[in-house]
Amino acid sequence: MNNEITGFKNFYDHMIDQLDTKSSWLEVGAWLGNSITYAANESKKKNKHFNFTVVDQWKKYDELANFFSIEEWNNDLPYQTFLENIKSYDNINYRRGISWEVAESFNDNSFDFIFIDGAHDYDSVYKDIRAYWPKVKLGGWFAGDDFRKGDFPGLEKAVREWSEEIFGSRKAVQRFGRCWMIRK
């Protein structure tokens, strides 16, 4: 199994079990498509017919700079790899752009599950959380990755501040392994 998805495989399995048979799933930060294809495969095994949407820029930024050479970035290799990885899935849609700007194209209350895993700096995480929270249906789930103490301090700070702002407590979000989650 790909190490990239091993860390939140259990979380995705848990969320697939939590969601109804015909749920809508949005992932912010698709990278190469490994996690979304994992979710598509596992949901299919469980006879669930999810509709998946992913949002990503597929552009070089500090966290991802060393994964590809400058030439590969210039040739759009991450995006081309993503397209290759999802080509056999008719239930995975994608939108390319700055995640919090793309959020404006979705209706409020339109997704059963939204997973935030884009850029991990404070500003990006905070913008993503604020932009996508309204898109979660009542009773739906909102979550994100890499919520490990000390690994991404800006990410944890953004999640905690948003939690306090919306729910009156910095600890309203639950931890599940390395992920954070809350039900709307």
Output the pLDDT for position 63. 59
Pairing mode, strands 24-28 and 111-116: parallel
**Number of folded domains that form the chain:** 1
pTM attached to this predicted model: 0.90
CATH code for the domain in which residue 34 is found: 3.40.50.150
* Residue 13 confidence (pLDDT) above 70: yes
Question: What DSSP element (H or E) covers 92?
Answer: strand 92-96
The answer to whether the beta carbons of residues 50 and 20 sit under 8 Å apart is: no
51-56 vs 24-28, strand pairing mode: parallel
Longest dimension (CA), the chain: 47
The residue range of the domain holding 165 is 3-15+24-183
Token pair of 2 as six digits: 């790909």
Work out the percent of the chain whose per-residue pLDDT is above 70: 88
AA identity, residue 108: D
For 130-156, write each residue's pLDDT tens digit: 999 999 999 999 999 988 777 888 999
Number of Cβ atoms within 10 Å of the Cβ of 62:
9
